[in-house]
Structure 1
Amino acid sequence: MKKIYLLALNIIVFCGFCRAQQTEPGLQPATFRQPQPFLYTINTLNPGGRNWSLNYSGGYGERTVTPLGFDGVDQNLSVKGYLGAKFTFLATLGTGVSNGTVHSLQQAEVLRDFIGGNQPAGFRIGGGFGFRREFNNDAVAFSRIAAAYDVTSWKLGANVRFEKAFDAKRDGLDVISSLGVLRHISGGFFGGVEAVGQDLEGFWESDEAEGGARLLVGPSLNYAPASSRFAFSLCGGPIIYATHSTITQGEFAYRELPNTNGFTLKFNVGFRFL
């Protein structure tokens, strides 16, 4: 419980600090200047949000596995920015502590909008490539398709990520999908839901290589004060282990999923530079 209290204290401190930060006048509404409105669904940057940003995120999870969360407490620091010509760059460094052991994660990717992306609002879709070294030291190459729809009252995002882990015991190709929806509540507040699905082939393949299908569905909050360069996101919910693969039994097991469902809570604080 102390870990959860510490996580909540971090969020409260950052929320209080943001009220003192003033932004430059004449920019697009804060709804179009979000560095990262969702926790699991990555968005490309639009002309209303081309500033570089520094993002601090953290989380706590129990009975969870990557990429839905970290089994313990983790913290991540990332930089995100617009490279020009519709290109977005994102790099992340993460640390996690579980049972007294410190783990690390590194990830970098480049995305480009191919449809839309010329206006702050509206629909855009893009794709890109990246590389990640996971908390368990597995090396993973991946590509991502990212779609977004932004208007004054709505934020919608969707990702499909194709991953290739360089470990013979992992899936030949892993597919992770995510969907986020946020609706304007009041002022700079948006509320909605975010969902993530991984190894969904476990619903029809009894020998799925990484343990079976798993889902995360939970409420999502986003706050972007009009008078601040900060933006805040919070998401959490149950992790449902919908199926358990027969390959997780015995000496051939790579990743045996927990027998009971887990949960995770994650937050992100983004700061836009000039």
Structure 2
Amino acid sequence: MPTIENLMNSAELPDSPSPRLDAEWLLAAALGKPANYLRTWPEREVPAEVAARFAADLARRRAGEPVAYILGRQGFWSLDLEVAPATLIPRPDTELLVETALALLPASDAAVLDLGTGTGAIALALAAERPAWRLTGVDRVAEAVELAERNRRRLGLGNAAFLQSDWFSALDGRRFALIASNPPYIAADDPHLVLGDVRFEPASALVAGADGLDDIRLIVTQAPEHLESGGWLLLEHGFEQAAAVRELLNARGFVNVESRRDLGGHERISLGRLPA
């Protein structure tokens, strides 16, 4: 039988930006062990059925499939989330949206909306950090709503709920102290859509018209009807779209409009407040 070290040394992922890390995650998952097990016990022999699963998963990764989809899970904030091809894979960039939301409202009772929830990542991260908040996550895609609910149940977060809604369509009469969204914001002709992990992610969660702003325009237009007086709207967007999003927020009458930068120095979220 091959050893862990043998399998790791023979793992070839030439097109991956992080081939060693990808192989470690896949082998650890096949073994049912944490990744540090591989470095602690490199001489351990690997059963044939585990080696076969590892080889099959490597082939999927060589074909470009994201590791998160192969494993069926992805870490976000402090949470381990189930993921599936019906939703985007949660990314570290979106944690800036969570950090900002946590800083804007007190920890006391508040109704908060996550628009286009996908896996439930934003809503569940906020629910975990603020037990007194009441989180609602909505998504147009039924499979995404079901996935978010599975994540909620597994994490035991009773202060979050999910429902199917095409943006605000199922939220008549409901208002929130804060609305957060990571909507589609990629232009239809963006060349990155045929590269890397995004090839496997749902186009409907990525593409928003000719300039990538169609969904953000809709959200900015309709959000005031669903915000409490003085409520906040937070939007993730592309790193070159901040000025355009600020212009949309200002034109709709939001105040305290600004953009905030991620760890790479890019303006990745913009926010505004409904006047009191």
Whose strand fraction is larger, Structure 1's or Structure 2's?
1
Report the TM-score, using the length of structure 1 for normalisation.
Answer: 0.34
Q: Which structure has the greater CA radius of gyration?
A: 2
Identify, as 1 or 2, the structure richer in helix.
2
